[in-house]
Amino acid sequence: MKNVKRKIGKLSIKLIAVLLTLSALSASAKSPHEFSIYGGGGYSFYSCRVSNRAVLAPHSDLYKTAVDGVSSSGFSGDLGVGFTGFIAPQVGLHVGLGLGLSNTNINVKDLTIVTENFDVADGHPYDLYTSFSDYNEKLRTFCFSIPFMFQFQTMQSGSSWNRRATPESGFYVLTGLKLNILLSNAYETKVSSAYKEAYFPGLENWANTQTFAGLGSSNIKGGKGSYGYVQTLFSFEAGAKLHIGDNRFVYAGAYLDCGLNDPSKNNREPITEEMKELPLLEFADRINLMTIGIKLRMAFQ
């Protein structure tokens, strides 16, 4: 854990150095550029791909999962500084460094796990059916947000390199990638109840009243943990660019961020003894963060 955090720290320092170098080179070459401060936020949710699966499991031949009623909601936001170097009046490269956060809930109405050939009772193998109700998972992240994006804009007056009589307002588009280096990442889970029953294929019989064997209704404790360190997103932003003074502009637009990877995949740890042999934290094949929001940026040339 310490080695990973140390590597993340070194990577962050290198990225900051690259941004500062780009700024210095642009300023020394007197090429068109903008410095900016920005802030934004919006509605966030997780795009989940859920399917019935059959994979190997401990103490059995395989298990199958079935999920019903998956939903998520929350918020995300970031605040930072940016630099845009223009290679033409209408085309530039935008980089930045910000602090971002997200707080999102995932809710699953019903989760059923079927573990085939789980064990043998009185010489008869049985399949174990485990059903969870009202599973809730809170995911919270705090990160460095580093955008690498292309900017396209309409011709506009007030630019230090463009004095033609063009409109005071124009339109812009930003598109590219964002790299989120997770400084703090945590999840917390809650499950209202669990129900276990056994099916004996050879006897064509169900058993669910043997509480001494762990069957029937039971309570499952939730828990906390952490996951992943790097999140990559595709970002698209579009809106109006307003000229408010000599070489000063305000960008006002809407953005869409789409997660390209799941930082929690293969990184989560079991959180309670009851869950160690259950894929409760892996009910989805993919969990990617999506955010729709608005952003304001003040730029200076």
275: domain CATH number is 2.40.160.20
pLDDT category at 1 given cuts 50, 70, 90 is: very low
The larger pLDDT score, comparing residue 143 to residue 70, is at 143
130 vs 78 pLDDT, higher one: 78
Task: Examine residue 125 and state whether it is found in any structural domain, yes or no.
Answer: no
Give buried/exposed letters for 180-200 (b at 16+ CB in 10 A, else e).
Answer: bbbbebebebebeebebbbbe
Check residue 252 and give its pLDDT.
96
- List the one residue out of 36, 52, 96 whose CA is nearest residue 244: 36
Of the candidates 93, 85, 250, the residue with the CA atom closest to the CA atom of residue 156: 250
pLDDT of residue 11: 59
Tell me, what's the pLDDT at 88?
A: 80
Could you tell me if residue 209 is inside a domain? no
Assigned domain for 112 exists: no
Inform me whether the pLDDT recorded for 16 exceeds 70.
no
**Listed ranges 124-128, 150-154, 269-273; the one with the highest mean pLDDT:** 150-154
pTM over 0.95: no
Q: Tell whether 126 is covered by a domain.
A: no
Whether 206 is covered by a domain: the verdict is no
- Which has more confidence, 133 or 39? 39
For the segment 17-38, the average pLDDT, to the nearest whole number, is: 64
Number of domains in the chain: 1
Cα–Cα distance measured from residue 157 to residue 165, given in angstroms and rounded to the nearest whole number:
6
User: What pLDDT score was predicted for residue 207?
Assistant: 81
Mean pLDDT for the chain overall: 76
Q: Using CA atoms, how far apart are residues 36 and 50, in angstroms rounded to an integer?
A: 41
What pLDDT score was predicted for residue 146?
92
In the chain, what percentage of residues exceed pLDDT 70?
A: 67
Answer yes or no: is 87 within a domain. yes
Band of pLDDT at residue 57, cut at 50, 70 and 90: very low
- Per-residue pLDDT, averaged over 272-295, amounts to 66
176: in domain: yes
Confidence label for 278 from pLDDT (cuts 50, 70 and 90)? very low
Query: Does the structure show a pLDDT above 50 at 29?
Result: no
Question: Does residue 116 fall inside a structural domain?
Answer: no
pLDDT in tens, 155-214: 765 554 454 445 677 899 999 999 998 888 887 877 777 788 888 887 778 888 777 777
Q: What is the pLDDT of residue 24?
A: 53
Which domain, by its residues, includes 271? 2-51+71-106+138-187+227-300
